[in-house]
Structure 1
């Protein structure tokens, strides 16, 4: 994240312990020995890691929760290690449904670079508790199959491996499971052993759907070194209606602005329901308990103002894309759905904002009623009646003449004009 956003993050001193804060923020779903882990977190100086496999060219919101957890640990005096899976990405964590398509080594290496850069933006690499980034390809590329089977594989029991949820689901399906993906849990567990041996790492975090892999690492460290280490699984984030968080018709909300624009990112958070907004604020922002309780009070007293949603959208967009992008997305949203000045919005944000609107091609001199009839009116007659009733605007400027035409200056940045019918029905006229 930009340095300004990084500097704003602090743990909340109102909690008796870090463990209490993590639980209050809804970040603890399952863990190894809770009392021992709470004590270790209270002591300071613990080394914790989370792994990120390069299954896509960008991380998404589920990954962001893990990165912010590492950041919370660092702010509390612990040392975070971000691991990018250069080797595990070549294998693939088994999915419950079907075998993954293996990616080329070159593609995996490029994704490792991109994801490493994303994780690095959220951690501090200077001073006490400086973060570190590692790639598990570094300690597996030179490991022979014989050494791997003798030194690591001997500690695993096939019966236990078969009980893992994804493995069990695949075994009972027509697809089955390859030995390659079946071995994934051994490879991931080996990461924990290596980080324990080389960096004194005693905690691995991840989503609760990774719990089998997390505990495999805990067990391997215990069997190989006789040491007790910890695992912490965060809840899978779902909406109050039970749908998977961050998914819309199968499309993830990405951290890469080229895949999900800052404006679309902002709008995703702004559209959070009242039932979900407090949980999202707790998990994805560093706002204090006092501030979150104030926002919850405002939500109850003035639900129409959506203050909590607006704060959530700005805070998380600023964390991921920076203050300027968050300001731009906020201003664009206010201008599109209000009466703000659209001419003040930069070209990139404006184009992102209108990308999902009904659209038509246009040129200076085109009649507004015709443009409306191609987008948000059923006919030219309906469009003309809407204009006569004062319900049509171009770039938030009311149109009063039924024969009005699009002017050159109406094409913002020379590219697009925003048509509005009524209060919230929008369309875009793109220069042809």
Structure 2
């Protein structure tokens, strides 16, 4: 349930609770007041009627002598004082009532009684209850849309902050919530998200600058090492040194490629190419024993033509195949179907951290996936993003890592 409806429901429930509590309190207070006034009126009426009866012998104000409906408690009072009793009987429009009585003389003399009918006041109380219920419903009907509108404003502000945080999480380091209205908690959250994005952007830019600087600084000495290796006499030492220098040069080139991708300096050069042929050539250039299966689900043709940058596509496929052999296990299979390329190995699979956070440079994810500098998947993801493709990393149910590349139409 959206937050706006939760807030509106809470506001409606609170309004209902307030209306019920107020209605009950008003009903109880009014009912008590009606009984108190009826008892007081009966008590005073007996006093006035008794005074007239003693002076003139007549009955006024509805007074009666020993009426048949007089409650038993007032028929035989033990003294000559005035007494009142509540009578809850209802006879047509008569009742409930309050009786007040006083003996007119000696213990054997009749009892003068006055009855005060509370039926009109109780009918007024019932009308008051109905009026309060209707007024509460009207107020609730008017307040609920206002609560929904107010909650919608809050929900939109929170949704904007959430969307901005999602864009930052997806890699858009320039996303900001900007200034927000008010000085409430939502504004504090928005400001905190912006501060977090600023801090994260500074850290990432510093990391990218460091990577680019290191790569550029190492490029010249590595070139010198290669030239020096060519001057060594042929032999095992020369071969070992040349292999290590080639590895170092590959690392430097990877760092330079990542720095260019980070800086947005790379631009794809699109061309219409047969996807199966490009993938096969990329696998062949790795020099690794890899199965290639090309399937076209539309017409059974041998290849599927796509518009993409073939050099970058080869780079992606080559990195995925090398990563599968280096950190996974044989057999490694590459499947081309439609616009999708799947690279699968049968090793321990990707680690949970890598699947959750994505590949990180200089971090291989798990010790059991072998050693490496962790740049292969980082470059593959960067190049896929540049091509507008989607690269998904997952583990197969029966074991092994699965990398799936979806090329755009």
**Alignment TM-score > 0.5, same fold:** no
Q: Which has the higher contact order (CA 8 A, sep 6+)?
A: 1
TM-score of the two chains, using structure 1 as the length reference: 0.17
TM-score of the two chains, using structure 2 as the length reference: 0.18
Higher helix share: 2
Q: Which structure has the larger Rg?
A: 2
